[in-house]
Structure 1
């Protein structure tokens, strides 16, 4: 059984990197709009604080988490936005403190989880490592929204391996969300990490293939950039379709980001 500690360590590091970006922001900059419609920088941090609390309940209070799921089912179109709105209405210092306290509590709970434990989530139950991986993906993706709002270019790290892994694992989900049958065969995905290492998923001889920089793949599957602006290549019709519809997050497909450039290489 794999030790989840390295994944939890990466979640802490990803959160701390984002904290450096927002920790010293003046109050007015918390109100800057981000690429997510109607969401400011404050909404993005409020959403992370809210989902950290949900994850903490999943680990420590199953009945409390069940109540969250029931409320989500009762208002599926407004549940996430309502949580972000509530947090964004707080003074920035209070919101920042709430986010820090919540993610620290989640960190402790994940590290104290019994080996092999699985926790309820909005989809299938998750292990401590899988839950931490999901939180890394969310923290990185919403951090990208904040970086874009602030005009900051973040230095990518090999923690992107977690985001890429979810991107690969959610292939069939993306097809299903669009009402398409998932391909029966595995795809080969070859990604160049920020460190230069090659990350590979799927059989070497697969007919359907995706390749490119890990950063670009992660921006694509989290729908933080348009495919035409990214250097991600598809070989094969099904792989090409996937790159148009890929998404790591639950819920219906969104519009995604508009393209900044044209003439992307869709093959």
Structure 2
């Protein structure tokens, strides 16, 4: 797999441009593919631990092929091209940045706005944001979170709750503290492709596996925090992807999450690995486009 650097020339070639707005952060970065003022709008939230330009191939077809206005966001303070420091990342500040993005899209284009939670924890963070009551025509998510069940993180829920106090203390005394994240081993079907992806993404982001302690804390707060908005039922039409050979999410986890949804919903099985959203994005893009178009 070849991953080319995202230079200015490449950006012009693929039709994207940078927009910067103010939220909690002085500069919230929107990586934007503009199709037309009357087209449907999709806000894309990727994993909160890397820059959006490191994973644009995952969703670029939504603009280039399916003719949506795409707004992919660096929404975490201090991550990617979003201004701020590591300690500025709180769930409250993240929501303030996303509110600013929503209002920008609604004011500059239309209220026909859809939400895509993509690339790992991006699906969980998007699901969290829906708990604010912000109005979207539809929602599609690659990853999902069951409040109180931290299985995808590889730690028991009881441990997650107990360690949050320690992490808050560490963040106060050394906000830039980080640790090396080691993903669970991929085995079986297409394991070599999954592993190869992680090897090659380091070309674009050498710090891909360097996880800030504060970022880990916020993910834990999202999953098990007492005030987590994951407890709020999703109300808009929701498309859930279930990857059958995922190194983080078991098939049972996807099913249990999907069964809790009481809104209009659809489950799409992808007979592939976790990183297939990047390696072969076409099946995902086709389903997302159809879901957005029918809402």
TM-score normalised according to structure 1 size: 0.28
Higher relative contact order (CA 8 A, sep 6+): 2
In terms of fraction of residues, the more helix-rich structure is: 1
